[in-house]
Structure 1
């Protein structure tokens, strides 16, 4: 399982994957609940659910991306509050887990929220180095720059979670 930020789902949107047809035809509250597990903004989830049906997954992903850009700072804060800091698996070296915990704490002190990063495309063995390097680099950001980087990472996470949500299994 890739190590990356997880929302309320602890790793996968919904307890089961839906296909696009099921997503398009589900009652609005059910679709919104599934979307909230992809990105924790109620406004974002409501907007995506209200614009169903989507002709294909790419249209849904494009709508999600666009909706992510349209959010207010309050909406972003709500989505960010649903995230948890990415960690390492129990088999990771103790020293790496300690270093990452310290880096997360420093980041949270600096910016007032959890560190988010999308690690899609990286193998599990690369996650510790990628997370630590990203935290260290992003600690040098001004608040406005980090807010933009965080929003980009959140949209990337949402994209991957939506793809997992609507993938047929």
Structure 2
């Protein structure tokens, strides 16, 4: 993963993030994890000396989310999309499993599928929902929080490697 610019003289994603206006940084962070408190905390600790420090701060802020903040972030999540060629039985199975999960735990199912090929993601999501339905609510709260953290970390890393941050800073 490259955290530097491929074009000489162009700031890296981390440089742009560090130099962005607070509002722009928080808006970019909200795309990674929909928690205003998390975004404000991560943005407030800029500048970060390196990507690892930013990711560590993002992890720490995610671990410190209150139940209400975590519930709001979970409510903003959606299941990963199915591959375009997924058959209708897969859609039916996924919708049924997700409905059962939401009924049991009161929030959408969240799982990180970073690094999986699209054809592997569906099986991973279905297996995850089915196995996690057996969790007690407290255990599932911890698992969901960890999945949110993993999602935020992956999205933040991706954000810094593409042109998703302001360049006019």
- TM-score, normalization by structure 2: 0.86
Decide which structure has the larger Cα Rg and report it. 2
State whether structure 2 residue 59 is matched by structure 1 residue 65: yes
Any conservation in 2 of the 1:117–1:153 contact (CA below 8 Å)? yes
Among 10, 23, 40, the alignment partner of 1:29 is 23
Q: 1:40 offset after TM fit, Å?
A: 0.7
Q: Distance in 2 between matches of 1:113 and 1:78?
A: 9
Hey, what does 1:125 align to over in structure 2?
A: 119
Hey, what does 1:156 align to over in structure 2?
A: 150
Deviations along 1:129-159, whole A, 9 cap, x unmatched?
1111110100000000000000000000000
Unaligned runs of 5+ in 2: 1-11, 164-169
Q: Distance in 2 between matches of 1:165 and 1:86?
A: 18
Q: Distance in 2 between matches of 1:112 and 1:168?
A: 34
Deviations along 1:63-119, whole A, 9 cap, x unmatched?
000111111111111211211122313311111111111111111111111000001
State whether structure 2 residue 123 is matched by structure 1 residue 113: no
Hey, what does 1:53 align to over in structure 2?
A: 47
Unaligned runs of 5+ in 1: 1-17
The secondary structure found in structure 1 opposite 2:46 is coil
The secondary structure found in structure 1 opposite 2:108 is coil
Any conservation in 2 of the 1:41–1:75 contact (CA below 8 Å)? yes
Any conservation in 2 of the 1:86–1:115 contact (CA below 8 Å)? no
Any conservation in 2 of the 1:87–1:97 contact (CA below 8 Å)? no
- TM-score, normalization by structure 1: 0.86
When the two chains are superposed, the root-mean-square deviation of aligned CA atoms in Å is: 1.2
Equivalenced residue count is 152
Q: Distance in 2 between matches of 1:131 and 1:82?
A: 18
